[in-house]
Chains A and B, each alone.
Chain A
Amino acid sequence: MHVVYPAVVSALLFATGVYGVLARRNAILVLMSVELMLNAVNLDLVAFDVWLRDALHSGQTLTLFVITLAAAEIGLGLAIVLLVFRTKATINVDELSELGERPR
């Protein structure tokens, strides 16, 4: 299989993730979009590992790291979303602007 197929799929996945992070207002969907981007990278890492015939398989090793980190990150992120919902009764990211400059 030519490396261009997984690369194109990965690019599409990443673009979808970017769109989701930038455009979705629901915090859980934003987190899911982040997962999409991470997995696009994972796909790339595995594909290029095979294509380049890396003797140490560093691409696959790194993928395992990313999966672990993604799991931890989504756990933390979902916990934060839960707490935000309890205090603000909303998980809409564009309503969570307390840290920004107040418009004068």
Chain B
Amino acid sequence: MSGFWLPALPALAALVGFATLRLGPALAARLAVLGGSLAVLAAVVAVGGRPWLTPTVTDLATISTGGPQIHVAARLDGLAAVIALMVTVVALLVQVYSVEYLRGDPRYPIYAAFVSLFTAAMLLVVVADDLVLLLVGWEVMGLCSYVLIGHHRELPQARAAALKAFLTTRLGDAFFLVGIIVYGLSFATFRVSPVMATLTQPPAGWSSSHLATAIALLLACGVVGKSAQFPLHVWLPDAMAGPTPVSALIHAATMVAAGVFAVVRLYPLFLASPTTLAVLGVLASITMVGAALAALVQDDIKRVLAYSTVSQLAYMIGALACGGRTAAVFHLLVHAAFKALAFLAAGSVIHAVGSNLMSRMGGLSRALPVTSATMAVALASGAGLPPLAGFFSKESVLTAADETARGLGLGTAAPWVGWVVLVSASLTVALTAAYSVRLLLRTFAGPARGPGGAHEPSRLMRWPLVALAVPASGLGVAGLSAAWLPTWVGPWPATSLGPGALTSVVAVGLALASGLGVWTLWRRDPSADPAAALGRLQEPLRAGFHVDAAYGRLLIRPLKALARAVLVVDDRGIGATVHGAGAGTVAVSVGLRRLQRGNAQSYVGAALTGVVLVVVLAAAAAFG
């Protein structure tokens, strides 16, 4: 099966959706769900064809550029098929959920079409075997995220968040584009799989590793922007201004996953540059701890989950930095399941309460049994409680970091990178458990603080929750045998992703201890926020360490001042020369015009004087 079927089906659904915007939301909903179902079907067929044994490469056309040719090529291998299955399943559930969540929204048809397009773009990234083609999907995703985050365009914060997401990721994308160009020039092709095949043979001994570092670092900038890693993470918490299903889509299946996926796809290139791996490892360590700390004190339920996403993505990047390619893919899949579930459950809570703020929730477990149960599954999985899926995937990340720290890792990173990732990841395990317990207690337990009358949403919103709870709790099995997930998403040494003894005891111990700590704090006063125990630390954490304010002071304000200075120079400097040339000519001509009195005889006199002068001078030159 050609890999192009995967993006083509949702793209077709999006196109028909755009064409039939005026025919009402009922048709748009059917179209969106139909397109999503067909995409799931295509992904199931793709996985069923066991593409890890025989990858299918389709090269539809070549575009000559004068430099390296651009191939419209797709590669359907095990990795692409498995990720595509995850993307399509989450996208389908989001579409089903949105039908109910956005009922009565006048802009639902265009929303549904853009979600389809978003899915198509992500699938294009997944199957693309040419970096330019990958960039097309990558940028279309940027556009879709802009439109979908700004869906409530009447709200100023939604418009600002959309613009911020677009510009922040764009900053990384600029470097990404340069990286692709350097890649194309150095390898004389933009194709991925042939180049990666040559790089895999001598993994460590690639002769020009400075070039590898340059390309990998440039591409990593795009990854850092797209996957919301420090210092370009600022767009993701604000992206909460979009509708909740969009958050589920962006945080789980598309957009942020694309960054991690790009690294996995180009992993031999990153392995050739231990410097880049170290940079990614350090950035991921900063991000995972910082974001988890910020998640600890947020009052907006979606912001807690957003910071949690940033932190969990950092796990994947950290795993990649430590040679844990399979671990990163494993955590990507498991995270997609439990984070999509958490967001959809949060959407259900917001739908019932009418507010994002946890200070207006509380005591909802009786009114929302399905939502609270599925949310508990999602958060417990995220916190890494055995035997839920998150435990296994997080263990695989910790194991990769642990092996690198002891010098046994599969990657090329130095042992200290492993230590950094291992320590911060263990710390983050404790923080994750703390914010997960706090979110559960503040939302579903204790006295009710919001208006009464909350009730479960209709079936269209409940079923996606139940459906996602299955992989969120059970997907961990897939990593237990080396013949399963590690083989499917290869080629990479197919070792089992089962939990290590020491790391699992430490991680589960830390998670239980901090979770119990939060619970004890909460028991003292169930109506108060357990985060209040942090005292004066709350304020900087709630503001996300004031990164936004720092950017405002360090970057935005100087840039605006520079813009004003440029305006002044343009107006008073360059503009003045243009206006001055005109005004000066007029001023000079006033004097000359005075001579033109209309007396023809004076003109003739002047002309004659001139002739005489010329003759005299010529004679003087000739004879003198």
The reply to whether A100 and B601 form a contact with Cβ atoms under 8 Å apart is: no
Could you say which residues of chain A place their CB within 8 Å of the CB of B597? Answer: 97, 100-101, 103
The reply to whether B598 and A21 form a contact with Cβ atoms under 8 Å apart is: no
Query: How many A-B contacts if CB must be within 8 Å?
Result: 33
The reply to whether A21 and B596 form a contact with Cβ atoms under 8 Å apart is: no
Does B66 interact with chain A (Cβ within 8 Å)?
A: no
By secondary structure, the B interface counts as helix
Could you say which residues of chain A place their CB within 8 Å of the CB of B599? Answer: 93-94, 97, 100
B 590-615 to A, binary, CB cutoff 8 A, 1 in contact else 0: 00011111111100110010000000
Could you say which residues of chain B place their CB within 8 Å of the CB of A93? Answer: 599-601
Could you say which residues of chain A place their CB within 8 Å of the CB of B598? Answer: 96-101
What separation, in Å, do the CA atoms of A93 and B608 have in the docked complex? Answer: 18
Closest residue of chain B to A99 (Cβ to Cβ) is: B598
Does A18 interact with chain B (Cβ within 8 Å)?
A: yes
**A residues 52-91 in Cβ contact with B at 8 Å:** none
Closest approach, in angstroms, between the C-beta of A32 and any C-beta of chain B? Answer: 15
What separation, in Å, do the CA atoms of A96 and B597 have in the docked complex? Answer: 10
What separation, in Å, do the CA atoms of A96 and B599 have in the docked complex? Answer: 7
The reply to whether A18 and B594 form a contact with Cβ atoms under 8 Å apart is: no
The reply to whether B608 and A22 form a contact with Cβ atoms under 8 Å apart is: yes
Could you say which residues of chain A place their CB within 8 Å of the CB of B601? Answer: 21-23, 30, 93-94
What separation, in Å, do the CA atoms of A99 and B597 have in the docked complex? Answer: 8
Cross-chain contact of B594 among A97, A98, A101 (Cβ < 8 A): A101
**A residues 7-39 in Cβ contact with B at 8 Å:** 18, 21-23, 30
Closest residue of chain A to B592 (Cβ to Cβ) is: A101
Q: Give chain A's interface residue range (CB within 8 Å of chain B).
A: 10 to 19
Closest approach, in angstroms, between the C-beta of A11 and any C-beta of chain B? Answer: 13
B 211-236 to A, binary, CB cutoff 8 A, 1 in contact else 0: 00000000000000000000000000
Closest approach, in angstroms, between the C-beta of A42 and any C-beta of chain B? Answer: 20
Could you say which residues of chain B place their CB within 8 Å of the CB of A96? Answer: 598, 600
Could you say which residues of chain B place their CB within 8 Å of the CB of A23? Answer: 601
What separation, in Å, do the CA atoms of A94 and B599 have in the docked complex? Answer: 5
Could you say which residues of chain A place their CB within 8 Å of the CB of B608? Answer: 18, 22
The reply to whether A22 and B594 form a contact with Cβ atoms under 8 Å apart is: no
B 568-609 to A, binary, CB cutoff 8 A, 1 in contact else 0: 000000000000000000000000011111111100110010
Closest approach, in angstroms, between the C-beta of B613 and any C-beta of chain A? Answer: 15
**B residues 58-80 in Cβ contact with A at 8 Å:** none
What separation, in Å, do the CA atoms of A96 and B603 have in the docked complex? Answer: 13
Closest residue of chain B to A25 (Cβ to Cβ) is: B601
Closest approach, in angstroms, between the C-beta of A83 and any C-beta of chain B? Answer: 16
What separation, in Å, do the CA atoms of A100 and B593 have in the docked complex? Answer: 8
Could you say which residues of chain A place their CB within 8 Å of the CB of B605? Answer: 22
What separation, in Å, do the CA atoms of A3 and B608 have in the docked complex? Answer: 26
**B residues 75-105 in Cβ contact with A at 8 Å:** none
What separation, in Å, do the CA atoms of A64 and B592 have in the docked complex? Answer: 41
Closest residue of chain A to B598 (Cβ to Cβ) is: A100
Closest 4 CB pairs of A and B: A100-B598, A97-B598, A101-B593, A100-B597
Where the two chains meet, the residues of A that have a C-beta atom closer than 8 Å to any C-beta of B are 18, 21-23, 30, 93-94, 96-101, 103
Ordered by A's residue number, 10 sampled pairs between the chains whose C-beta atoms are within 8 Å are: A18-B608, A21-B604, A22-B608, A30-B601, A94-B599, A96-B598, A97-B598, A101-B593, A101-B595, A103-B597
